[in-house]
Amino acid sequence: MFSKTFVINLPFKTDRLSIFQKSVPQAIGDVEVWPAVHGDSIRHPEWWTAGAGAWGCYRSHLQILEHCYQQKVESYLVFEDDAIFRKDFEHEFTWFLSELPDDWEMVYLGGQLLHEVQHPPKRVNDHVFVPHNVNRTHAFAIHQRGYEKVYRHLNSAFATNEHVDHHLGRLHESGRLKVYCPGKWLVGQDGGPSNISGNTNAATFWVDPEKLGSDTRHDPKRAIPAIFLEAPIDVAVELERKGWHRGKWQNGDRLDRGVCDAITSLNVKQGLTNWYKAVMPEAVREGLSCVCLYHPTLSWTCVQSLECARFQRVTATAVEDAEHQLSQIMGDLKVSSAEPPKHNLIYHIWPRKGNGVWQWNVEQLLRRIELFDGIRSIGVVTDQSSDRLEDVQAAFGNVRIDNWICFPNDPAKSETVTFAKLLATIPADDSVTFRGHAKGVKYDDPHATREWAEMLYEICLDDPAFVDASLTQYPCCGPFVVESDWPRPGRWHFSGAFYWFRSSVLKNPTAIQVEENYWGAELWPQTVWERSDAGVLFGQTCGRLYNRHELERMKDWIKDWRAKKVRA
């Protein structure tokens, strides 16, 4: 299956190499020892910020790729010397290879899935999955079909403190590389001191992809609800043994420290949100019954105000009563999960005369208008250089629009002129809302932002099931996330200002307070949510798309993204 197999080993780590060589399954065949780069012996360049051990790991993997690329080796498999194998490796390995698609470019036999809650792996067949982002480099293979893509990416700029595995993960996320993994990890990592971090790690097999797969995660029979429990502590402890996940960091009173810290903090809601985002993936990975928020002093009123999840209330004095209520909640989830949320629309138009751009945008919206089965609200700003409100209304014909909002155009405030008024038309309920605008109208050239706009419409509106799945985990989502120090350090935004959000956020009075400036509508999500609260539909950490080079990069990514979605 693989033309060559390597194991990376520092020459003075003879014990590690000996243990590995004795454990290699027969199905792997001959393994060539590749002398690792010792990061402590070779001084890394100043631009590298991830440490000496990580530099040695990166250079070792890059050298093997360069060797195989130059020698025209058809494919290679590489292990790190702390790799350990499943007891049934031979059997599972054979099945995996027999089911692996012929177009594979990179394969992980072991690893750790990142962002698996928002982007669960997609099942190809009984033994093969397509992962979103694989962390770790202890067992993977590359085919010559993928050499150039991987090589170019490994020679592109690394983020601050980024290791090679995280850098490769960004390539996986782009969709430009055909990456596969088994349903059950075949290779884990042995315990002992790490060459990279210096820490002593336990032997680990990370959670199997099949337990996190999209067909498992979004199956209502396997839904993991968020529960607010009001019960005696003994009942809470017993329920924990039965899969009610309260967190793994508990104090002497058998209460979760994260919850305790949140309650005594200056921002209780943010503290509880951080707790939920930490424990919910644990519950998903381990297949537990529910996420259970518990503290004797917490009130239902406080929990109801949380945006991180839709909590269900369970009040019980006995374990049996609590389990019965959970059973009823699970039954309700099975019914409700079959019904997608209502989809609302808020949309801004400056109908500038002469270039035909606003008309083109309206055509794009009307092609998808049936998606919006909730409230539809359109904001229009007019001036001497624009067409009239009546012209815009005529372009929509007999299509239902629930609210028309019209104001004089203010170039200094741009789309913010209508934004707060549009938000006010949306009910603060369980629906979801899309925010968009007629993009590119200010340019004389009607094609100035056309390709970017086409991608925005496609990503946001042509796969509502994907959007709905993202919004079950994140309160907002959108494409083309830019992380920068603009307009303040540590900020972020959806480049292009097309995004979705849960309408329930509008219960919060501060959520409808919009900064009245040119960028108010685009920057609104960052005033309501942290970057970690934002789901990414496409274009993780992209640059400014007004930059032609960055736009071309996104166009290349989206071709493979489309193909990947078709295969899925």
Is 132 strand, coil or helix? coil
Distances (CA, A) of 145 to 53, 110, 297, 305: 29, 21, 59, 51
Which of 243-257, 521-535, 541-555 is most confident? 243-257
Percent of the chain predicted with pLDDT > 70? 91
Q: What is the pLDDT of residue 220?
A: 42
Task: Flag the least confident range among 63-77, 272-286, 322-336, 468-482.
Answer: 322-336
What is the pLDDT at residue 265?
Answer: 92
Q: State residue 202's pLDDT score.
A: 58
pLDDT of residue 567: 44
Give the mean pLDDT of the chain. Answer: 89
Structure tokens at 188: 């884990």
Task: Return d(Cα 309, Cα 471) in angstroms, integer.
Answer: 10
Which residue, among 500, 496, 454, 448, has the nearest Cα to 477 in the 3D structure? 500
Sequence-separated (6 or more) residues with CB below 8 Å from residue 96: 127, 128, 182, 186
pLDDT for 330: 78
Q: Is the pLDDT reported for residue 217 higher than 50? A: no
Q: Is residue 192's pLDDT more than 70? A: no
Question: Out of 183-187, 426-430, 468-472, which region has the weakest mean confidence (pLDDT)?
Answer: 468-472
Burial class (CB in 10 A: 0-12, 13-18, 19+), 239: buried
Output the DSSP codes for 399-433.
---SEEEEEE--TTTTTHHHHHHHHTTS-SSS-EE
pLDDT at 490 over 70: no
Question: Given this model, what pLDDT does residue 304 score?
Answer: 86
Name the burial class of residue 536, with classes exposed (0-12), middle (13-18) and buried (19+) by CB atoms within 10 angstroms of its CB. Answer: buried
Beta bridge partners of 405: 379
The pLDDT of 422-432, averaged and rounded, is 95
Position 317 scores a pLDDT of 94
Decide which of 327 and 150 is more confident. Answer: 150
Q: Tens digits of per-residue pLDDT, 403-416?
A: 999 999 999 999 99
pLDDT tens string 251-301: 999 999 999 999 999 899 889 988 988 888 778 767 688 999 999 999 999
What would the mean pLDDT of 109-119 be, rounded to a whole number?
84
Per-residue pLDDT, 531: 81
Residues with Cβ within 8 Å of residue 211, at least 6 apart in sequence: 285, 287
Gap between the Cα atoms of 339 and 225, Å rounded: 16
The larger pLDDT score, comparing residue 183 to residue 565, is at 183
More confident residue, 552 or 424: 424
Which ranges constitute the DSSP H helices of 383-528?
A: 389-396, 416-423, 450-461, 464-473, 520-528
Provide the 8-state DSSP code for 436. Answer: E
Q: How far is 284 from 498, CA to CA, in rounded Å?
A: 30
Which tokens belong to 298? Answer: 């917490």
| Inter-residue contact 385 to 353 (CB < 8 Å) | yes
For the chain, domains (ranges, CATH) are 4-217 (3.90.550), 220-336 (no CATH), 343-567 (3.90.550)
CB neighbours (10 Å) of residue 467? 23
Confidence of residue 194 (pLDDT cuts 50, 70, 90): low
> Would you state the pLDDT for residue 568?
44
Q: Give Cα 360 distance to the centre of its chain.
A: 31
The per-residue pLDDT for 552 is 86
Whole-angstrom distance, CA of residue 331 vs CA of residue 223: 10
CA gap 98, 77 in Å, rounded: 17
Residue 383 reports pLDDT greater than 80: yes
Strand bridging mode 75-80 / 112-113: unpaired
Q: In whole angstroms, give the CA distance from residue 177 to residue 149.
A: 7
Q: At 532, is the pLDDT very low, low, confident or very high (cuts 50, 70, 90)?
A: confident
DSSP class of residue 202?
P
* Region for residue 243 given its phi and psi (left: phi exceeds 0; alpha: psi -120 to 50; beta: otherwise): left
Quote the pTM value: 0.55
Pairing of strands 187-189, 83-85: antiparallel
Residue predicted with more confidence, 501 or 538 = 501
Of 307, 238, 236, nearest to 269 by C-alpha is: 307
CA distance 394 to 514: 30
Q: What is the pLDDT of residue 489?
A: 67
SS3 at position 373: coil
The predicted structure's pLDDT at residue 545? 80
Under the banding of pLDDT at 50, 70 and 90, the label for residue 529 is: confident
- Compute CA distances 469 → 217, 475, 501, whole Å: 10, 11, 12
- In degrees and rounded to multiples of 5, residue 497 shows phi and psi of 60, 35
pLDDT: which is higher, 291 or 335? 291
Tokens of 145: 């079909």
482 band by pLDDT with thresholds 50, 70 and 90: confident
> Are 405 and 346 a contacting pair, CB within 8 Å?
no
Q: Is residue 96 within 8 Å of 128, Cβ to Cβ? A: yes
Side by side, the strands of the sheet bearing 128-130 are 32-35, 4-9, 75-80, 139-143, 106-108, 179-182, 128-130, 122-123
Q: What is the pLDDT of residue 212?
A: 76
**195 has pLDDT over 70:** no
The enclosing H or E element of 123 equals strand 122-123
Q: Give the 3-state secondary structure of 39-104.
A: CCCCCCCCCCCCCHHHHHHHHHHHHHHHHHHHCCCCEEEEEECCEEECCCHHHHHHHHHHHCCCCC
C-alpha 244/C-alpha 524 separation (Å) is 36
The tokens for 96 are 């995996």
Residue 5 pLDDT > 80:
yes
Cβ neighbours, 10 Å, residue 168: 24
DSSP string, 297-349: T--HHHHHT-SS--EEEEE-SSHHHHHHHHHHHHHHHHHHTTSPPPEEEEEEE
The helix/strand/coil state of 439 is: coil
